[in-house]
């Protein structure tokens, strides 16, 4: 990944109305049914967007958000923007790869992806900014839950299990160890929090109340099927998908589920190296876990305004690239 990170994309440069700006994506209206879904190079962890900083440059060393272990050092913002160069394009291209595989393996499932090309009339000077990181997608009402599937016990599931022997309130077998593969993958939905709030794990019953039993059942079955397909595909390529998050919309005409958002990227999944997997401990990972571990170990977890040291940004970029290359079998630029 190279070049300056792209973290902001203005409606005026694109020539389309911006209808939403998520933690990572910016969404523009193409027409009533179609959105331009643009992945920026921003990175978020624990629901907070991070900034870059170079350890060699100078700024206020007293900034309380800077790493405690380096508090004697001076920092400055390497690039006045946030983000990891090339990340947005990588997320979009990896999602597109999975959408293709899903189309082949689960042809009955509707996908929101229409095209990777840009809509007509984007100003020529903006086209390079949007190329590779954009998708035209069909606009759908989004179901208000995050549909998480876990094949291994880690993260918030491991934290809950250690305390109560349950995951999302579900009783689990006794004696599980950290990162252990589960007998069968489990569906562990969460709420979809508004900006600034945190998603909360919920029981299946609660998901049923929110979505209606029938829709919740379809979401669960489809999510497990998607996960199992992806898990088997990735395992052959040296990657274990420990867990992942899907989002679904509903087709207003047919009431069928539509797979939306990004799919099976390092932003929405935990990818582990199959080669170095060892049960009973936390794992080497290809995804944001690297960054999450740094945030946790330096006491920055969940804090606003944390700046990402250049080294962490570079290593995170390497991990994302490696994941892309292993999963697609293609070289990333
Ligand atoms: P994070 O992924 O870090 O949790 P986020 O989910 O807040 O962040 P982004 O990923 O930046 O946001 O933006 C994607 C947003 O677009 C999500 O709110 C998602 O629900 C919504 N979305 C995805 N696909 C569609 C679609 N086809 N139609 C309408 N909205 C969509
Ligand atoms: Mg998202």
- pLDDT means per 10 residues, the chain with 333 residues, are 81 96 94 97 82 43 32 34 85 98 98 98 96 97 97 96 98 98 98 84 97 98 98 98 98 97 95 95 79 85 80 87 96 90
CA of 82 to the centre of ligand 2 (A): 17
CB 238 within 8 A of CB 274: yes
CA of 59 to the centre of ligand 1 (A): 34
How far apart are the C-alpha atoms of 292 and 295, rounded to whole Å?
Answer: 5
The predicted structure's pLDDT at residue 193: 83
Respond yes or no on whether ipTM tops 0.85: yes
Q: Dig out the tokens for 58 from the structure.
A: 């100078």
Question: The dihedral of CA 181, 226, 270, 20: what is its sign?
Answer: negative
Nearest residue (CA) to ligand 1, atom 24: 261
The predicted structure's pLDDT at residue 2: 59
Which atom of ligand 1 has the smallest separation from the CA of 42?
11
H helices of the chain, where?
A: 11-14, 87-105, 127-130, 155-164, 204-211, 213-235, 289-297, 310-328
The verdict on the CB of residue 110 being under 6 Å from ligand 1 is no
The verdict on the CB of residue 137 being under 6 Å from ligand 1 is yes
CA of 257 to the centre of ligand 2 (A): 18
Helices and strands (DSSP H and E) totals, the chain: 8, 18
φ, ψ for residue 5 (rounded to 5)? -65, 145
**Distances in whole angstroms, Cα of residue 270 to Cα of each of 26, 133, 159, 166:** 23, 21, 16, 20
How far apart are the C-alpha atoms of 114 and 313, rounded to whole Å?
Answer: 32
Question: For a pocket test of ligand 1, which of 9, 19, 25 has the largest count of ligand atoms closer than 8 A to its C-beta?
Answer: 25
Nearest to 239 by CA among 199, 180, 281, 285: 285
Nearest residue (CA) to ligand 1, atom 22: 261
CA of 174 to the centre of ligand 2 (A): 33
Mean pLDDT over each residue of the chain, to the nearest integer: 88
How far apart are the C-alpha atoms of 250 and 269, rounded to whole Å?
Answer: 23
CB 218 within 8 A of CB 250: no
The predicted structure's pLDDT at residue 330: 97
How far apart are the C-alpha atoms of 69 and 300, rounded to whole Å?
Answer: 11
CA of 61 to the centre of ligand 1 (A): 35
How far apart are the C-alpha atoms of 82 and 102, rounded to whole Å?
Answer: 32
The verdict on the CB of residue 288 being under 6 Å from ligand 1 is no
H helices of 9-105, where?
A: 11-14, 87-105
The verdict on the CB of residue 261 being under 6 Å from ligand 1 is yes
- Whole-model pTM: value is 0.89
CB 261 within 8 A of CB 254: no
The predicted structure's pLDDT at residue 64: 32
């Amino acid at each position: 990944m190279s070049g300056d990170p792209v973290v902001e994309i203005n409606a005026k440069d694109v020539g389309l109305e911006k209808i939403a700006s998520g933690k990572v994506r910016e969404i523009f209206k193409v027409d009533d049914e179609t959105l331009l879904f643009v992945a920026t190079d921003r990175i978020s962890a624990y629901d907070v967007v991070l900034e870059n900083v170079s350890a060699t440059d100078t700024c206020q060393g007293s900034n309380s958000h800077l790493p405690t272990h380096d508090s004697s050092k001076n920092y400055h913002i390497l690039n006045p923007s946030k983000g990891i160069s090339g990340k947005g394009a990588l997320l979009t291209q990896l999602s597109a790869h999975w959408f293709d595989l899903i189309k082949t393996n689960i042809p009955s499932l509707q996908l929101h992806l229409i095209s990777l090309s840009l809509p007509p009339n984007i100003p020529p000077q903006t086209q390079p900014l949007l190329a590779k990181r954009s998708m035209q997608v069909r606009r759908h009402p989004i179901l208000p839950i995050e549909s998480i599937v876990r094949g291994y016990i880690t993260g918030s599931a491991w934290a809950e299990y250690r305390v109560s022997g349950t995951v999302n309130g579900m009783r689990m077998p006794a004696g599980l160890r950290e990162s252990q593969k589960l007998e069968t993958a489990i569906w562990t939905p969460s709420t979809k929090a508004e900006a600034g709030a945190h998603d909360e794990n919920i029981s299946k019953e609660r998901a049923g109340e929110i979505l209606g039993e029938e829709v919740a059942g379809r979401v669960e079955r489809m999510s497990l099927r998607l996960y199992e397909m992806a898990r088997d595909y990735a395992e052959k390529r040296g990657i274990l998908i420990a867990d992942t998050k899907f989002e679904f919309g509903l087709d207003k005409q047919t009431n069928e589920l539509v797979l939306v958002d990004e799919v099976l990227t390092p932003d929405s999944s935990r990818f582990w190296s199959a080669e170095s997997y060892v049960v009973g401990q936390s794992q080497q990972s290809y995804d944001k876990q690297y960054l999450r571990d740094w945030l946790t170990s330096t006491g920055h977890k969940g804090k606003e305004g944390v700046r990402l040291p250049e080294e962490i940004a570079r290593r995170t970029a390497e991990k994302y690239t490696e994941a892309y290359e292993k999963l697609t079998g293609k070289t990333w630029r």
